[in-house]
A = this chain, B = another copy of it.
Amino acid sequence: MKAYKEMGREELLALKEELESQYAAAKAKGLKLDMSRGKAASAQLDMEMDFLDTINSSSDVNTEAGVDCRNYGLLDGIPEAKKLMADMMGVLESQVIVCGNASLSIMYDTVARSMIFGVMGSTPWCKLDKVKFLCPVPGYDRHFAITEHFGIEMINIPMTEQGPDMDLVEQYVNNDPAVKGIWCVPKYSNPQGYTYSDETVRRFAALKPAASDFRIFWDNAYTIHFIYEEKDEELLEILTECEKAGNPDMVYEFCSTSKVTFPGGGISAIASSEGNLNFIKSAMTIQTIGYDKLNQLRHVRYFKDIKGMKEHMKKHAAIVRPKFEAVLDVLEKELGGLGLGTWTKPVGGYFISFETMEGCAKAVVEKCKEAGVVLTGAGATYPYKKDPRDSNIRLAPTFPSSEELSLATDLFVLCVKLVSAEKLLESKA
């Protein structure tokens, strides 16, 4: 098919009319579908229901060292769970604290702690006139929500297929002492599915921050979340790189099992240097007597080790893969060559990142919604919900069933076409 831009006004008008009648028909179907969040599908959760049988009334509830997981104690997690989460991140057991059901809460707490108590002895951020965070864009809306909530100024850093624009990152971090952090999803990034290159990781490790309390918030959310096992990408282990580069305390790494076991009932962890962990524990010991150790034990008993966990991820991939492929097929078939957008083709993670023509994203999302398909809000992938080009849309293919997904994607491409045609007509008006 012909690229829309090459069409004349009359041709576009005719096309628009045709698309509008298709849209009216689609709307009449009364769809009610949600493609907005990176949620696991019921099929994924059903296949791991035996997770819930791993500790029962006849089970031994002690750790290997004999600690009763039902009772109080072990602030930083049971050793076996530390080992498992460490292996997920490729770090040492001694570099890990295991927490509750959500890594997002650890990130929130980490920012909150820095606001009130500073970072390893630095001035509390709430006492400073200005605190800034770098935000690779498009990125994860809940990261941006945390920094916005705390009144931290956010600066957009463009993403490339190798990771954030490191020239810009270096320029900010190495010169501006108000820059205290950067949000990163280094593997199968949200929403693109990009994995940071070795060079990117090494440049991160080699930063010379103007602020001694600058920290990289390394949200390794999708570390083992490959879609194609054989194409699983390698991410350089950043704690080691930072240590080598003389920046041992520069990173907080986060991960969780929210998309390994159950989104509502997983466990999470933070990995960092001894200095950071000690500082974190000094607050944690006031904050809690300890997290749910029974759920930590469930994970250890269910997976045994990281090998078991990766085997399990193959089952997730088997369910998720066809959904990604279905969406990508429709995008290619319906939009290929039309010049109406570009999109990523991830081999891991939970999202596809779609770029419309400039100024179309909001209208596309709105049109989808009108016809009963909820997408992630346009702009959500940018700080302050402001996408300067109004072009990024995050597609989350995992939650809907295959049938729903097909209906939703068909509507999506239709809306892209319609909004693009309208946009081009405007410029020809």
Q: Mark A288-302, 1 if CB is under 8 A from B, else 0.
A: 111111110000000
Q: Which of A144-152, A218-226, A354-362 is the interface stretch?
A: A144-152
Contacts of A27 in B (CB 8 A): none
- Judged by a CB distance under 8 angstroms, whether A286 is at the interface is yes
Cβ-based interface call for A160 (8 A):
no
* Known contacts A57-B49, A57-B53; A70/B264 CB under 8 A: yes
Binds B, one of A39-47, A303-311, A341-349: A39-47
Q: How far is the CB of A410 from chain B (nearest CB, A)?
A: 25
Evaluate contact between A45 and B70: CB separation under 8 angstroms: yes
Shortest CB distance A23–B (Å): 30
Inter-chain contact B288/A102, CB cutoff 8 Å: yes
- With most chain B CB atoms within 10 A of its CB, the pick from A49, A52, A69, A115 is A52
Residue A272, interface by CB 8 Å: no
Which positions 257-276 of chain A face chain B at CB distance < 8 Å? 258, 262-265
* Cβ A146 vs Cβ B286 within 8 A: yes
- Does A427 sit at the interface, judged by CB under 8 A? no
Residue of chain B at shortest CB distance from A50: B57
Known: A53-B57, A116-B126. Is A292-B289 also a contact (CB below 8 A)? no
What residues of chain B lie closer than 8 Å to A258, measured between beta carbons? 72
Whether, in the assembled complex, A7 has its beta carbon less than 8 Å from a beta carbon of chain B, the answer is: no
Closest-by-CB residue of B relative to A264 is B293
A90 within 8 A of B: no
Q: Does A283 contact B (CB under 8 A)?
A: yes
Complexed CA–CA distance, A384 and B97 (Å): 28
Cβ contacts A to B, 16 pairs, < 8 Å: A39-B72, A45-B71, A49-B56, A52-B55, A52-B294, A70-B262, A70-B264, A71-B262, A72-B258, A102-B288, A105-B287, A108-B287, A108-B288, A112-B112, A146-B287, A265-B295
